[in-house]
Homo-oligomer: A and B are copies of this chain.
Amino acid sequence: MPPRPIPAAAPDAAADTIIRLGRRMDALGWVPATAGNISVALGDGRVAVTRSGLHKGLLSRDGVMVVDAEGRAEDPSLRPSAETLLHCGIYRRFPGTGAVLHGHSVANTVLSRAAGDALRLRGYELLKVFPGLPTHEGAVELPVFSNDQDMPRLQRAVEARWDGSAAVAPGYLLRGHGAYVWAADADAALARLEALEFMLACELAARAPGAVA
């Protein structure tokens, strides 16, 4: 496994990045209530991640904490977001990942509830933000997983799908429980989330009425 190219970042800088992304995701309607979570790799195996139970659009620095590569809190008095294990699973599998975003949109919720085990996106110029797709003529197969409160079991289901796929998209959906995307840094991850949500909003607007009941 090659060394991670992520520069070491001070937790305060990582927290500020997370605060900024949270505000943006809130302005776009993707972190209602206490939903969603955000993490940034610190470059030394540790990860800065949002704490559980807070509104992600209204974070301050003490809404961000540090966990190790297995998701264990450095400060055991703090509780990370419930899905931290999913973030850690992404960092482990894809070295070079600098940030992971998870948000709930109306589009990703409605479409994932109606979908089978994948959503196929094709013909959008914005597919270019996904790697390995130089043109809009490609398609992205976005995995959709059934929601599960047992995070280790859910993470095993995710890894089994990755193991069985020739090309892995840098994102997936949980049914009724939002989207995950990741990229080399926070701004690239935000761009991927914006592109994905835009395409899902188009799919929702264009779908045959009655297809989702």
Contacts and interface: CB of A to CB of B under 8 A. Distances in A.
Interface of A: 32-35, 55, 104, 106-107, 109-110, 113-114, 123-126, 129, 134-136, 147, 149, 174-178, 187, 190-192, 194-195, 197-198, 201-202, 204-210, 212-213
A81 to B, nearest CB: 12
B147 A125 contact: yes
Contacts of A147: 123, 125, 136
Given A149-B136, A191-B55, A208-B213, A126 B198 contact: no
Contact of A191 (B33, B109, B177): B33
State the oligomeric state as a number of copies. 4
A16 to B, nearest CB: 15
Contacts of A206: 110, 113-114, 212-213
Contacts of A210: 208-209
